[in-house]
Amino acid sequence: MLRLAGARLLDDRDYPAVRAALAADPVGSCMVAARVEVAGLDPWRLGGELWAADGRSPRSGRFSGLCFSGPNLIPLRGNGTVLRSFADRALRRQRTCSSIVGPAEQVLGLWDELTGEWGAAREVRQDQPLLALDGVPAVPPDPAVRPVRPHELERYLPAAVSMFIEEVGVDPRAGDGGVSYRARVSELISSGRAFARFEAGEVVFKAEIGALSSSVGQIQGVWVHPDRRGEGLGAAGTAAVVDRLVRGMGRTASLYVNSYNTPALAVYRRIGFRQVGRYATVLF
């Protein structure tokens, strides 16, 4: 096992202990658990590295800190000392992640350690309620919301791009002309995790199941066509995705939303979501 600056690079020998640690907070750790369950801990298969900061044997099943480093940097647990060890390791290489995201205390603490070297972020979203629902939604699901079919990619993609620009503030087609983003959306569609309501061949509501672990599905990319907002499509459409997750797939539905987005928060609470934690996101 490699040890650098107090942070250990975990591998498949640590898998049982890691699974136990992730299971302790299945909603908060869904993004990492979804990867680990499919790929194990080998960095090449995982698409990143999982770090621990703990002097004890990982086979004890106790980690004082866990952090995933890949397309996103996701610190799951750790106090100030642990976060410094993760920052030390992250600073040994050039930044490649597009964001730091996860439990707010760890994200903001890690960002405090990194900001001096990485410079200003494009945006810091400090308060993002993490919501969960494991029962029948209180809003009737929209029966017209269904999985997007592979041949509908071209009709779905403009809505996905519009959602991304509204939510993240950048065009996902920048840089490579949209090749990477198109591939990601196509993957979601082919895996049955992109949902939409079509009217006259146009998407009027969309949402996706991003991370999907064995117990939790994280809803992302909720969007309603600007001309159709205020009609209840968002609530009924999101309820349809929740119903698919809870009753159809046996998972808890989760999502996180900016605290200042009071209309969305009101909709999610009306559906039946409850707050189970707080996320934060640092966008580069």
Residue-wise DSSP of the chain: -EEETTEEEP-GGGHHHHHHHHHTSTTTTHHHHHHHHHHTT-HHHHTSEEEE--SS-GGGS--S-EEEESSEEEEEE--HHHHHHHHHHHTTS----SEEEEEHHHHHHHHHHHHHHH---SEEEEEEEEEEE-S--SSPP-TT-EEPPGGGHHHHHHHHHHHHHHHHSS-TTTTTTTHHHHHHHHHHHHTT-EEEEEETTEEEEEEEEEEE-SSEEEEEEEEE-GGGTTSSHHHHHHHHHHHIIIIIH--EEEEE--TT-HHHHHHHHHHT-EEEEEEEEEE-
Q: What is the pLDDT of residue 64?
A: 86
Separation between Cα atoms, residue 269 and residue 258, nearest integer Å = 14
Q: What is the pLDDT of residue 80?
A: 94
Q: What is the pLDDT of residue 83?
A: 96
Q: What is the pLDDT of residue 61?
A: 57
Q: What is the pLDDT of residue 153?
A: 97
Over residues 249-274, the pLDDT tens digits come to: 999 999 999 999 999 999 999 999 99
Over residues 125-165, the pLDDT tens digits come to: 999 999 999 999 999 999 999 999 999 999 999 999 999 99
Q: What is the pLDDT of residue 63?
A: 83
Rg of the chain in Å (alpha carbons): 19
Ramachandran sector of residue 177 (left: φ over 0; alpha: ψ -120 to 50; beta: rest):
left
Q: What is the pLDDT of residue 114?
A: 97
Q: What is the pLDDT of residue 56?
A: 52
List the chain residues with pLDDT less than 70: 1-5, 54-61
Q: What is the pLDDT of residue 59?
A: 52
Q: What is the pLDDT of residue 60?
A: 52
Q: What is the pLDDT of residue 89?
A: 94
